[in-house]
Amino acid sequence: MKQCYFCQHEVDVIDYKNTEILQKFTDNTHKIKPRKRTGLCASHQRKLAKSIKRARQLALIPYQENVRI
Ligand SMILES: [Zn+2]
C-alpha cells in the first residue's frame, strides 16, 4: 500500500511545529527522505520539504549531520 500519508489523513498544511511527523520523513542523518521512500504525492512532498526547512531554521529539528566513520 503506497499512498500519500498526508492525503490519507486529509492534511493540507503540514505543521512545521509537529516535529514528530516531520521526523517520520527524515532518515537517521536527518535528511529528507526521497519521494520513493516517503510514498508522498508531489504536492505533499513539496510541502513537507518546506515545513522541514522551516523547522530547521527554527532549530526544532536538526540539520543533516555529517556522517562520521
Ligand atoms: Zn498527498
The answer to whether residue 29 is domain-embedded is yes
Instruction: Using the CB atoms, write b or e for 1-17: b if 16+ within 10 Å.
Output: eeebbbeeeeeeebebe
Greater pLDDT, 18 or 2? 18
CA gap 57, 38 in Å, rounded: 22
- Grouping H, G, I as helix, E, B as strand and the rest as coil, residue 26 is strand
Bridge partners (DSSP) of residue 26 are 32
Asked if residue 62 belongs to a domain, the reply is no
Residue 12 inside a domain? The answer is yes
CATH number of the domain to which 11 belongs = 4.10.640.10
Per-chain mean pLDDT for the chain: 92
Instruction: State in Å: Cα 61 to ligand 1 middle.
Output: 22
64 located within any domain = no
Does the reported pTM lie above 0.85? yes
Ligand 1 centroid distance, CA of 68 (Å) = 34
pLDDT at 69: 61
The answer to whether residue 38 sits within a structural domain is yes
Q: How far is the CA of 45 from the centre of ligand 1 (A)?
A: 7
- Count the domains in the chain: 1
Residue 67 inside a domain? The answer is no
The per-residue pLDDT for range 14-45, each reduced to its tens digit, is: 999 999 999 999 998 999 999 999 999 999 99
Give me the residues near ligand 1 (ion), CB cutoff below 5 Å.
4, 6-7, 41, 44
